Amino acid sequence: MITAAVLEPYFRAPDPKVSFEARYPEQDNFPKFPWFFAGRKLSQQLTLAPLLEDISTERLRQSVEDLVKFNNRYYRSSTGRASLIAYAEKFKAIAKDRPDIEVILQEHVSADAPRVQPSLIVRLKGRDALASEHIVVGTPADCINSVTGMANVNDPCPGADDNASGMAVILEAFRILVENDIRPLRTLEFMAYAGEELGLIGSHYVSESYRLEGTDVKAVLQLEGTMYPGAEPKIALVSDFTHPEISAFLGQLVTTYLDVPFVMSACGYGCSDHAAWRQRGFPVGFPYSETIGKDNPYAHTPQDTIDRISFEHGKRFTRLTLAFLLELAMHR
Ligand SMILES: [Zn+2]
């Protein structure tokens, strides 16, 4: 998650004397999305059952290990760039030569700063007329060491939970869909956003591009910090800068497909990439690993290491991601 101080240039600083609605009046203009969510019965249990069985904690572990091997994945470091390119190669290896899958590295700077991290966009195209409707799952691609503030781009930043964990989850969800030859009706997109910790750089860029192009994004899932379960495993649904109908839908998915309860929890500011999508009116939800305030105390430190995370919790988020994508993408 990005800290409130860094975000201040992008979102107004919270003033506790002013109500949330007064602080963020764009909430009032937020479009209503009766498109899918209200009162709908889930319908993909039979398709999902074998896919959920296929989720591998070993593969989640391998993905996290491969990411934390980089000394850091800081936006401005050469390893931040190299780690994202290596991660993109894994998507390409899974996709092989399928013509309905695109793997795109989206640069955010001109050629005079070639070492800066790009964002990754992986598109699994839908079929017939519904292919123009998109369902997005995205996650930060970078990390930061707040102890040093990354004054030196060689400072260590393992970022196992924040956020190799989210990257591992979307890679595993993508693998399962492709290897089980799932052909969605709607287009599914898997995104890793550059520079989340430095001002939601990648997600602002992508969501603004989609707004300008008029891309029909039906729903966005934000994942970040998926493997720190705290004392009592649960799913914390972030209740601010998200869309309430998506949160309600996520609650329904947790109750149906997971073995833990959900709680609602507020950041108090636009603490991750969901805020960039919501600012532009796209419906977004953000399930998080633990109630905010009781969440991972090692985030942004050199102690955010692989021995402090739970792959069982990561498996829950992979289940939730697969359920979110299929329940939204497979029906007419
Ligand atoms: Zn963070």
Give the Å distance between the CA of 197 and the centre of ligand 1: 6
Grouping H, G, I as helix, E, B as strand and the rest as coil, residue 228 is coil
Tokens of 281: 């009116």
Give the Å distance between the CA of 54 and the centre of ligand 1: 29
pTM: 0.91
Please state, in angstroms and as integers, the Cα–Cα distance from residue 103 to each residue in 85, 123, 125, following that order: 11, 7, 11
Give the Å distance between the CA of 139 and the centre of ligand 1: 11
Please, what is the Cα angle at 6 between 17 and 16, to 5 degrees? 5
Q: State residue 190 phi and psi, 5-degree precision.
A: -115, 120
If you classify domain 36-329 with CATH, what class do you get? alpha beta
Strands (E) in 107-157, as ranges, are: 119-124, 133-140
Give the Å distance between the CA of 91 and the centre of ligand 1: 24
Closest CA to 236 of 276, 284, 286, 278: 286
pLDDT in tens, the chain (332 residues): 887 766 544 443 445 554 444 444 444 334 445 556 656 678 899 999 999 999 999 999 999 999 999 999 999 899 999 999 999 999 999 999 999 999 999 998 755 555 689 999 999 999 989 999 999 999 999 999 999 988 898 999 999 999 999 999 999 999 999 999 999 999 999 999 999 999 899 999 999 999 999 999 999 999 999 999 989 999 999 999 998 889 988 998 999 999 999 999 999 999 999 999 999 989 999 999 999 999 999 999 999 999 999 999 999 999 999 999 999 999 88
Give the Å distance between the CA of 146 and the centre of ligand 1: 9
Give the Å distance between the CA of 305 and the centre of ligand 1: 14
- Per-domain boundaries in the chain: 36-329
